[in-house]
Amino acid sequence: MSTPEQYDAIVIGSGEAGKFIAWHLASQGSRVIAIEKDAMGGACPNVACLPSKNIVHSAKVASYFQRGSEFGIVHGDWRVDMDAVRARKRKMVDGLHEVHQNNFKKNGAEFVMGFGSLTGPKTVQVDLNAGGTRALTADKIFIDTGSRATLDPIPGLRESRPLTHIEALELDILPDHLLVLGGGYVGLELAQAIRRFGSRVTVIERNPTLAHREDPDVSEAIQQLFHDEGIDIITSATISSIEGISGANVKLHLTLPTGSSILEGTHLLVATGRTPNTQNMGLELAGVQTTPSGHIQVNDRLETTAPGIWAMGDCAGSPHFTHISFDDFRTVRDNLAGANRSTTNRQVPSCTFTDPELAHVGLSETEARQQGIAYRLTRLPMLAVLRTRTLSETRGFLKALIAPDDRILGFTAFGTGAGELLPAVQLAMANNLPYTAIRNLIISHPTLAEGLVSLFSAVPPN
């Protein structure tokens, strides 16, 4: 066996946390190598967040065309060209690839395409995509291998060759009738986009509502939105089996509270959650333990059960968001520099990029009730945020939970530009400021953020 090549740090997986730790350590003078099996930079820029938001925005443009006369814009015949929609997305992805390449070059981290696996406590083998293997060793190993779309063991599902988000974001034709399995983040964003391009779309969810983790008023509002956009919704559904092939004809055999039923479509998109990429990686050879869900077991500093090995992002069971993977990187980076940073109790903001967006941070009403936490509720329809009237985008509401001592416990925005409203509220929450700190701001008129002044002016007294 050849002597392994010596590095200061090896990074397996070039997702958000992986690439940032590689760039950071290399820029500090360490000899670093990052191993990636698919695409430089991981899921976000290539097949997940950014490509999906690119497609969602093309769908927004299509919705403006549909609504043109409402804005006084009279147009002739128009059509959606999915080839061109995909070309715009691909152009963006190519541009992001260039940014990543430049960052690896600038920071001096080596990048290699291949599958990385552990062969011992400090050793890694790379099965090179180009053929052959390399043996590497380092005192520090960082695992950031992400997750993939879950395919449940439903009879016929795998055989139906369903689309995952990856193939859905590469569609160059419009499905006649897209069946979307799962009414969570991926299902909601892509179902609405494909519907706006002109497909018939049905969302099938096993829980009684779409966005089932949200407060009932929020999931009801999402459901109403989908109804208004002409998306069919089937909830409380159990799929017993699937026949046919996605792209031609698929048949779902469903059990519903009303009895059994068969649903037919031309395409099937699976959006039923994520499975961590932790298999066949020799984790046991290095003493890296996994949890029953298959995630790498880490402590609040993202240290695995093996000394000198860290895991970050989706594979470590961190909330599955790019901004959280980035924070995992910051946690590890700062602790390597001697800090004592923990992932416990950190803020986990989220934004679902439906149109309008659904943004949330902190406690929901349901969670507050379950935990017996006292709160006052303030709620404001988006119609009262005057900017929405100028945009003809008045759907939705803002709501916040206020503690007896005036701290903000949680904030939800369902409305146009909702994601952009989060940081101001987060800043107050992170610094234990009372809601009055936002209420008393002078905010430019007419902006969406002005709605925060109205929202926090309506807090009921204790």
Ligand X SMILES: NC(=O)c1ccc[n+]([C@@H]2O[C@H](COP(=O)([O-])OP(=O)(O)OC[C@H]3O[C@@H](n4cnc5c(N)ncnc54)[C@H](O)[C@@H]3O)[C@@H](O)[C@H]2O)c1
Ligand Y SMILES: Cc1cc2nc3c(=O)[nH]c(=O)nc-3n(C[C@H](O)[C@H](O)[C@H](O)COP(=O)(O)OP(=O)(O)OC[C@H]3O[C@@H](n4cnc5c(N)ncnc54)[C@H](O)[C@@H]3O)c2cc1C
Q: Number of residues in contact with ligand Y, rule: CB under 6 A?
A: 37
Residue 358 within binding range of ligand Y, rule CB under 6 A: no
The residue with tokens 């392994």 is: 4
Q: Residue 313 Cβ, how far from ligand Y at the closest point, in Å?
A: 2
CA distance 396 to 448: 12
Interface characters, 230-259, with ligand Y (x: CB under 6 A): ------------------------------
Q: Decide which of ligand X, ligand Y, none touches 36; Cβ closer than 5 to 8 Å per partner kind.
A: ligand Y
> Is residue 278 annotated as involved in ligand binding?
no
Radius of gyration of the chain (CA): 24
Q: Decide which of ligand X, ligand Y, none touches 313; Cβ closer than 5 to 8 Å per partner kind.
A: ligand Y
Q: Please pick, from the candidates 16, 214, 232, 327, the single residue that binds ligand Y as defined by CB under 6 A.
A: 16
Stretch that binds ligand X, among 57-65, 114-122, 267-275, 392-400 (CB under 6 A): 267-275
CA-CA distances (angstroms) from residue 433 to 188, 391, 402? Answer: 34, 32, 11
Subset of residues 255 to 284 that bind ligand Y, contact rule: CB under 6 A? 277, 281
Interface characters, 308-347, with ligand X (x: CB under 6 A): ------------xx--------------------------
> Is residue 362 annotated as involved in ligand binding?
no
**C-alpha closest to that of 188 among 350, 80, 44, 42:** 350
Please, are residues 351 and 340 in contact by the beta-carbon 8 Å criterion? no
Of 12 and 59, the one with the shorter C-beta distance to ligand Y is 12
**C-alpha closest to that of 425 among 351, 341, 372, 355:** 351
Q: Decide which of ligand X, ligand Y, none touches 281; Cβ closer than 5 to 8 Å per partner kind.
A: ligand Y
> Is residue 185 annotated as involved in ligand binding?
yes
Q: Residue 253 Cβ, how far from ligand X at the closest point, in Å?
A: 12
Of 116 and 313, the one with the shorter C-beta distance to ligand X is 313
Residue 273 within binding range of ligand X, rule CB under 6 A: yes
> Is residue 189 annotated as involved in ligand binding?
yes
Q: Please pick, from the candidates 13, 182, 356, 362, the single residue that binds ligand X as defined by CB under 6 A.
A: 182
Q: Please pick, from the candidates 163, 186, 203, 459, the single residue that binds ligand Y as defined by CB under 6 A.
A: 186
Residue 163 within binding range of ligand Y, rule CB under 6 A: no
Residue 36 within binding range of ligand Y, rule CB under 6 A: yes
Q: What is the dihedral of CA 274, 279, 281, 284, to 10 degrees?
A: 120
Of 349 and 410, the one with the shorter C-beta distance to ligand Y is 349
CA distance 354 to 193: 8
Q: Residue 276 Cβ, how far from ligand Y at the closest point, in Å?
A: 9
Q: Residue 346 Cβ, how far from ligand X at the closest point, in Å?
A: 15
352 Cβ partners below 8 Å, 6+ apart? 185, 188, 189, 211, 358, 359
The residue with tokens 């011992």 is: 120
Please, are residues 123 and 35 in contact by the beta-carbon 8 Å criterion? no
Residue 32 within binding range of ligand Y, rule CB under 6 A: no
Active site residue 267: no
Q: Decide which of ligand Y, ligand X, none touches 37; Cβ closer than 5 to 8 Å per partner kind.
A: ligand Y
Q: Residue 210 Cβ, how far from ligand X at the closest point, in Å?
A: 7
* Residues of each annotated binding site for FAD: 53, 116, 145-147, 314
Active-site residue list: 445
- Interface residue list for ligand Y (CB under 6 A): 12-17, 35-39, 42-44, 48-49, 52-53, 115-116, 144-147, 165, 186, 277, 281, 313-315, 320-323, 325, 353
- Interface residue list for ligand X (CB under 6 A): 152, 181-187, 189, 204-207, 212, 237, 239, 271-274, 320-321, 350-353
